[in-house]
Amino acid sequence: MSYRTALSEVLTSVIEPSADVTGGEGRFPRASVTALGRAGLLGLTVSAEFGGGGRGLPEAVEVVARTARVCPATAAVLQSHYTAVAVIESYGSPWVRGEIAAGRHLSSLALAEAAEGAEGYVEGVEPAGGVGGQGLEGQLLVPRSVAARTGDVVALRARKHQVVAAGEADSYVWSSRPLVVPAGMSLWLVPAHAPNLFVPARAGGAGPRGSATSTVFADPVLVPADAMLGGDGGGLDTVLRTVLPWLLELRAAAGAGGLRPPAVDMSHDVARRPVESLASS
């Protein structure tokens, strides 16, 4: 069965019938996510080597666009998932990639941050126009969260904003300051069951109702050192060259559903700026 046929069946049999409940009651579309996984659509962009669909951004764009016309919340979840998977495909373990391909693993992004002293910042409140009144660079490209290594364990301390599927995803692509190198960003794959990872009982984000968009707290969260995605300090390049292009395209795809990527107000101009200029901001 083609992914288009599989998507049509899931949209008709599961996503569309539950869309009113998802949006009206703000209920996370768990049945829709499960059905997408079983249909091979969560693993659409995972390499065929690991059992995935072997597809790329154009196919993900199509899936998000069609889903957004039926259920904005489910489309938002897919938008964040596909972008996270693009990073995991480059640096994630074979086991995680296999789990995503099998439809058993939902990932999300935990990148956006705000300084406590930023203008407009209020604890527990997610402004619709951005986090703490900051622009894209302050939210996404300049990590304030810290990472400290003791032996084979890394402690990540942070408050991540506008995380889609908060408390519902199986993992989060997470950013921090580097462990050792003086500048840049490090990325981590943080399991949802990691110790000291806290998600508020009531979602406070500005995403579509039902998308479980909220703040995620790490106080600190403990992960193995090999949870790092890529090299220490190399995450900024990954965000610029992978995360932003995927989010921009998926944002455009979801436009018919009235969506926008959580926590970022992006432009192609920002995404195309040299890495060096952003790293020195």
Query: Could you give phi then psi for residue 45, rounded to 5 degrees?
Result: -100, 10
Query: pLDDT per residue over 69-111, tens digit each?
Result: 999 999 999 999 999 999 999 999 999 999 999 999 999 999 9
Residue 117 is encoded by which pair of tokens?
A: 């002293």
Q: pTM of the full predicted structure?
A: 0.86
Query: pLDDT per residue over 135-157, tens digit each?
Result: 444 466 788 889 999 999 999 99
Share of the chain above pLDDT 90, in %: 68
What is the rounded average pLDDT for all residues in the chain?
Answer: 84
What is the per-residue DSSP string for 8-33? HHHIIIIIHHHHHHHHHH----HHHH
Q: Mean per-residue pLDDT for 200-223?
A: 84
Q: Which of 67, 69, 112, 101 lies closest to 213 in space, CA to CA?
A: 112
- Range in 28-37, 151-160, 229-238, 271-280 the model is least confident about: 271-280
Q: Where are the beta strands (DSSP E) in 47-182?
A: 107-110, 146-150, 153-163, 171-176
Q: How many Å is the maximal CA-CA distance in the chain?
A: 52
Q: How far apart are CA 129 and CA 57, in angstroms?
A: 27
Query: pLDDT per residue over 123-133, tens digit each?
Result: 333 443 443 44
Cis omega before residue 262 (within 30°)? no
